Amino acid sequence: MTHSLRIPDLTIPARPARAAWPAGVGPGDAGDPAVNDVDVIRVLGEARLAGTVHVVGAKNSALKLMAAALLAPGRSVITNVPRITDIAIMGEVLRRLGCVVRFAADDPVDPMVARGGVERSRSVVIDVPEQPGAEADYDLVRRLRASICVLGPLLARRRYVRVAHPGGDAIGSRGLDMHIAGLARMGAEISGEHGFVIAEAPDGLHGADILLDFPSVGATENLVMAAVLARGTTTIDNAAREPEIVDICTMLSRMGARIEGAGTSTLHITGVRELRPVRHATVGDRIVAGTWAFAAAMTRGDVTVTGVDPAYLEVALDKLVSAGGLVETRGGAFRVRMDDRPKAVDVVTLPFPGFATDLLPMAIGLAAVSDGASLITENIFDGRFMFANEMMRLGADIRTDGHHALVCGHERLSGAPVRATDIRAGAGLIIAGLCADGVTEVSHVHHVDRGYPDFVADLRALGVEVERGTAPDEPDLAI
């Protein structure tokens, strides 16, 4: 039987096909349909995902690689950059710092990456001046928390930087204490006024021994980028070990930096006088890959994911095996197949190599349709369970208590209108809708656009009946 996504009294206008980026224009620039906070995505439930999906470069790496380009005057090229709105915002941050930023097609274009003639990854070409600017404006930083990563490289090069205090996803507090404390140990004078973080090092930065209270990815990245041009040697203990940290260390090393210990909890950085521009390919996005892995398991599907080293998802894939799935790995790809209803498994989020906090919404989605009860524990962000109320609108049985959620699985969820609260929650709700009766409508999907290039196209290619359009206008309730 063929299902229709059209429901009486609420028909979403067809969404126009997305054109390829014009030369020199990135995602999120004028005219790009991806940037629309009133868009909705509707999916028909009782779906089964089957097929192959290719994953492009990691947003959490590409954004920091773009910031690292500030460390060397001249032209750096970063390839395999995802076509998402956050990349456009970071591009504008760099432009306002005096860089010339343009986007170009990756060469050669992989047909899996350019499904339907539309590139999902591009190269970003960054021409960095001899004297970049030293201030990152609030109107951009508030939209992209990752833009705080210009703090380290600008302080290293300019010895003065003024960056607006960042915003970002509403998933709890993510302070800058460790960034500031580490830079202070390297000789920076840090102050704050009118919503800005101001850092000065008139005599330049120097090496230091830094112990992080927590293996923060953002703090590790900022401190490494500051240390590569500092005098002497900097040691960072309890450093983050994520693949994105290894990726930025690899790029910096190719630029001439001296870094030892990438991928371990202790980094040794010996400062050099100058760095050179470089060409570098972004590592594949393990969070997007993990999203598709859980989607395959939740829908009792069969999905092959390419473009990501499965070793980056070892814990997550092991959980799917424990849930009854079949997982096959090979080189830069893996396959997930689930033939029966998943079995309940407990999940605890931890820094890499533990279970990634960004996959927690997908873990809750899996638990919501599993046989049995699952205990989900979040140890990274204190607001990660904010989306649980939206998942409960789909019929999920979730009880939260602080950092814990007890989820009792049901055979099938129930389609309903829900709202995305952040990038991963949005993706998790869409996938949960695939396991529901009827139609699920997810609003505020501009969040999803920030992390998943052409999510709708990928869903459709995997067999989902899905459409995207503009939400109906809110009624005027003025008296």
By annotation, the residues acting in catalysis are 169
Binning the chain into helix, strand and coil, the percentages to the nearest 5 are 30, 25, 40
Cα–Cα distance between 417 and 425 in angstroms, integer?
Answer: 14
Q: Which tokens in the block code for residue 165?
A: 């205090």
Q: Give the whole-angstrom CA distance, residue 85 versus residue 26.
A: 8
Closest CA to 345 of 333, 328, 362: 362
For residues 322-354, one letter each, b for 16 or more C-beta atoms within 10 angstroms of the residue's C-beta and e for the rest, the string is: ebbbebeeeeebbbbbbeeebebbebbbebbeb
Give, in degrees to the nearest 5, the angle at Cα 267 between 261 and 272. Answer: 100
Query: What number of other Cβ atoms are within 10 A of residue 373's Cβ?
Result: 14
Q: Map tokens 């210990």 to a residue.
A: 261
Considering only CA atoms, give the Rg of the chain.
22
Question: How far apart (Å, rounded) are the C-alpha atoms in residues 342 and 364?
Answer: 12
Q: Are 303 and 462 in contact (CB under 8 A)?
A: yes
Q: From CA 441, how far away is CA 43, in angstroms rounded?
A: 7
Which token pair is 40?
């909705």
Question: 404: how many CB neighbours lie within 10 A of its CB?
Answer: 13
What are the CA-CA distances from residue 247 to residues 126, 176, 281, 335, 388 (Å)?
18, 22, 9, 24, 33
Phi, psi of 305 (to 5 degrees): -115, 125
Q: How far apart are the C-alpha atoms of 218 and 236, rounded to whole Å? A: 13
> Can you tell me the distance from the alpha carbon of 277 to that of 214, in angstroms, rounded to the nearest whole number?
31
**Cα–Cα distance, 355 to 349 (Å, whole number):** 5
